Amino acid sequence: MNYLEFNFICKPSNDWQQDLFINELASIGFDTFESTETGFKAYAPEVNFNPVELETLLLSLDADFDVHYEMDSIEHQNWNELWESNFQPIVIRDQVYVRATFHDAATRFPYEIVIDPKMAFGTGHHQTTYLMMEWLLETDVKDKSVLDMGCGTGILSILAAKLLAKEVVSIDNDPVCVESAGENLQLNKVLNMSVLEGSTEAIPKQSFEIILANINRNILLEQLEYYADRIVMGGSLLLSGFYDGEDLAILKEAVAKQGFSFFDYKEKEKWVAAKFIFEKEND
């Protein structure tokens, strides 16, 4: 699968305009973003790209937000080479060390995760993935059943497994992500994790004690009722892929209608990951 690379040259009057623009791009199929000196680069699967949606979005921007872009196609192999040249190991709270296969191991950390991202989203570098991993480190995962929606590379699922989850079900609608997550679980010798292709229809008919969903605001709003139907009383719902302010307020209201109570949230460079507790008995 080829990806399209967009180099967006932006002149916003404030940082929020660019952040909101990125959020809107995520809602129309862009799944990876990289900051540049003049704005940012954004990537979308070529088969999913709709030029009308992009042009409609650009027309809706504020008049004082000047945006131009250049587009190029990136073949699968070139994408992998790009990752290898830019992917550096990261550390989360001095507990989790995330690296690729071409990096040296670091044995001083309690948890090491090996990720070969390929074209899938989720290496820990993005603020939302980092925040979700922080939440997992603070959550009692041992012997719990975990559902990871929009799993990408499987990095959150793998961390849950290393935190001694009883079982982990990982779901993504992108076949490249499913393949990547499957390869990464083998790299990390995870035995209690299954990877399924699809969306909410792929969720097994069982209950989960922890549900993870790092996607984007619009998809989260569409899927909340399915999460409520598959979580146990007192279960934890960890959500990310949205911003502080209006996004968080909208999600808090929608989640409350599904029987969840707001616990707390973490913020990193205006991106948010929030935790909710399910308090409504399922039928």
pLDDT digits (tens, 9 = 90+) for 3-40: 888 999 998 766 678 888 888 888 888 877 777 888 88
Instruction: Answer yes or no: is 135 within a domain.
Output: yes
Among 26-40, 109-123, 126-140, 253-267, the minimum mean pLDDT is found in 109-123
CA distance 229 to 147: 12
pLDDT at 254: 96
Would you place residue 122 in the very low, low, confident or very high pLDDT band (cuts 50, 70, 90)? low
Tens digits of per-residue pLDDT, 134-165? Answer: 999 999 999 999 999 999 889 999 999 999 99
- Domain limit, last residue, from 38, 56, 74: 74
Say how many CA atoms lie within 13 Å of 6 toward its Cβ. 22
pLDDT at 77: 61
166 and 250 housed in the same domain: yes
Q: Decide if pLDDT at 231 tops 60.
A: yes
CA distance 149 to 238: 10
Nearest to 33 by CA among 52, 1, 10: 10
* Cross-strand pairs, 273: 240, 266
Give residue 190's domain range. 127-278
CA distance 258 to 261: 9
The answer to whether the beta carbons of residues 61 and 21 sit under 8 Å apart is yes
Q: What is the gyration radius of the CA atoms in the chain, in angstroms?
A: 18
| Higher-scoring residue by pLDDT: 87, 164 | 164
Would you place residue 1 in the very low, low, confident or very high pLDDT band (cuts 50, 70, 90)? low
pLDDT at 86: 65
The answer to whether the beta carbons of residues 152 and 177 sit under 8 Å apart is yes
The answer to whether the beta carbons of residues 212 and 227 sit under 8 Å apart is no
Nearest to 132 by CA among 109, 105, 163: 163
| Claim: this prediction has a pTM higher than 0.85 | no
The CATH code of the domain that includes 18 is 3.30.70.920
- Domain limit, last residue, from 41, 56, 74: 74
Whose tokens are 């994790």? That residue is: 193
Would you place residue 203 in the very low, low, confident or very high pLDDT band (cuts 50, 70, 90)? very high
Strand-pair category, 3-11 with 111-114 = unpaired
pLDDT at 31: 74
Would you place residue 176 in the very low, low, confident or very high pLDDT band (cuts 50, 70, 90)? confident
Alpha-helical segments (H) within 44-194? 51-59, 76-86, 127-138, 155-162, 175-187
Instruction: Answer yes or no: is 87 within a domain.
Output: no
- Domain limit, last residue, from 36, 57, 74: 74
Q: Decide if pLDDT at 271 tops 60.
A: yes
Residues 6+ apart with CB under 8 A from 91: 97, 98, 109
The CATH code of the domain that includes 181 is 3.40.50.150
CA distance 81 to 250: 39
Strand-pair category, 271-278 with 111-114 = unpaired
134 and 261 housed in the same domain: yes
pLDDT at 82: 64
Q: Decide if pLDDT at 172 tops 70.
A: yes
Cα 142 to chain centroid distance, Å, stands at 22
CA distance 146 to 194: 11
| Higher-scoring residue by pLDDT: 283, 148 | 148
**In this structure, what token pair is assigned to residue 245?**
């302010």
pLDDT at 181: 92
Query: How many domains does the chain fold into?
Result: 2
- Percent of the chain with pLDDT strictly greater than 90: 53
